[in-house]
């Protein structure tokens, strides 16, 4: 379970995606037959293993180019598991809903119930910065507002939580291994969430500024996040988007299908000015797009 210090109460409380299973923001499952009918509406290159190669845009649309070395380029070219892979929980068992995703990212979930929705976005961002050797930029806030960077963690700094108080002390030796990095992320996953991630990202104020890597977020308890994992555009400048997410309990990061528009699935038509935005497993009200 995730623990977060809020700065409001001395008790540790559960936030993030933990309570979404009982939230009225969760959408009822669409008819599975409807999804089956729509499977061939757009060509999916099942033998390909990146988002950009596997998913063809609708007729009249083309993939938008992402600058090499950018966060968007990293996501669109991230390795996927073979087509048809199931979403599995942190304990290796499959989730019950297997008809609302189109792809699974080839990235571990860990063996604890930590890497949930906000954490999936944090994980992708952190992996990008790590692989790009932008180590100084790897830093995330706890929901309490306390900041812990990867540079401090690899130099031995650890967090100590006592009731509502967080302190940091150097208690370990230097370790910049990837396993140490994963341990750092698990700590972040435990104490960060939708509230902290909302605070440390910037609002997107124009549709034309939406890009791969941006997040759609409802901060709070419950809260949820999806992240844009691809963008295509037609000659009129109209854009469509792929959306991906983690969920609770901690499970595979996956690309969502679009059960509301069988012709365009898995692409979504998004508008930052919409009062609400429905995704396959959750609806966001208000619509709140933000950027790292």
In the structure, what pLDDT confidence band is assigned to residue 4 with cuts at 50, 70 and 90?
A: low
Is there a contact between 51 and 79 (Cβ–Cβ < 8 Å)? no
Q: Can you give the pLDDT at residue 70? A: 98
Q: Can you give the pLDDT at residue 222? A: 82
In the structure, what pLDDT confidence band is assigned to residue 162 with cuts at 50, 70 and 90?
A: confident
Those residues whose C-beta lies under 8 Å from the C-beta of residue 129, and which sit 6 or more positions away, are: 135, 137, 138
Residue range 67-88: mean pLDDT, rounded? 98
- Quick: pLDDT tens for 179-211: 999 999 999 999 999 999 999 999 999 999 999
* Structure tokens, 144: 């309490």
In the structure, what pLDDT confidence band is assigned to residue 257 with cuts at 50, 70 and 90?
A: very high
Distance, CA of 236 to CA of 93 (rounded, Å): 45
Helix (H) or strand (E) run with residue 249 in it: none
Helix (H) or strand (E) run with residue 253 in it: none
Q: Can you give the pLDDT at residue 262? A: 82
Provide, rounded to the nearest whole percent, the portion of the chain with pLDDT above 90.
Answer: 82
Euclidean distance between the first and the last CA atom of the chain, given in angstroms as a whole number: 26
Burial class (CB in 10 A: 0-12, 13-18, 19+), 102: buried
Beta carbons within 10 angstroms of residue 154's beta carbon: 20
Distance, CA of 42 to CA of 40 (rounded, Å): 5
- Quick: pLDDT tens for 91-124: 999 999 999 999 999 999 999 999 999 999 999 9
Angle at 140 between CA 139 and CA 144, to 5 degrees: 140
Does the pLDDT value for residue 30 go beyond 70? no
Does the pLDDT value for residue 34 go beyond 80? no
Residue range 49-77: mean pLDDT, rounded? 96
Domain boundaries, the chain: 20-291
In the structure, what pLDDT confidence band is assigned to residue 12 with cuts at 50, 70 and 90?
A: very low
């Amino acid at each position: 379970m995730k623990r977060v210090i809020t700065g409001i109460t001395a008790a540790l409380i559960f936030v993030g995606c933990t309570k979404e299973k009982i939230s009225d923001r969760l959408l009822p499952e669409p008819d599975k037959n409807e999804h089956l009918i729509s499977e061939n509406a757009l060509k999916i290159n099942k033998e390909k293993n990146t988002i950009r190669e596997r998913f063809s845009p609708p007729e009249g649309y083309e993939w938008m180019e992402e600058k090499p070395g950018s966060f968007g380029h990293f996501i669109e070219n991230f390795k996927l598991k073979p087509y048809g892979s199931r979403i599995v929980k942190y304990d290796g068992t499959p989730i019950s809903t297997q008809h609302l995703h189109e792809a699974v990212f080839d990235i571990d979930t860990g063996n604890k119930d930590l890497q949930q929705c906000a954490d999936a976005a944090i994980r992708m961002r952190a992996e990008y910065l790590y692989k790009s050797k932008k180590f100084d930029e790897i830093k995330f806030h706890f929901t309490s507002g306390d900041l812990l960077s990867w540079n401090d963690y690899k130099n031995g700094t650890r967090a100590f939580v006592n009731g509502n108080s967080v302190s940091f002390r150097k208690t370990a030796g230097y370790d910049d291994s990837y396993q140490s990095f994963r341990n750092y992320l698990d700590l972040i996953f435990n104490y960060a969430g939708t509230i902290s991630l909302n605070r440390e990202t910037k609002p997107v104020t124009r549709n034309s500024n939406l890009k791969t890597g941006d997040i759609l977020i409802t901060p709070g308890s419950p809260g949820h996040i999806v992240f844009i994992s691809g963008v295509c555009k037609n000659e009129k400048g109209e854009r469509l988007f792929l959306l991906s997410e983690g969920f609770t309990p901690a499970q595979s990061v996956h690309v969502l299908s679009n059960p509301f528009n069988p012709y365009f699935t898995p692409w979504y038509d998004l508008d930052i000015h919409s009062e609400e935005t429905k995704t396959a497993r959750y609806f966001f009200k208000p619509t709140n797009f933000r950027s790292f």
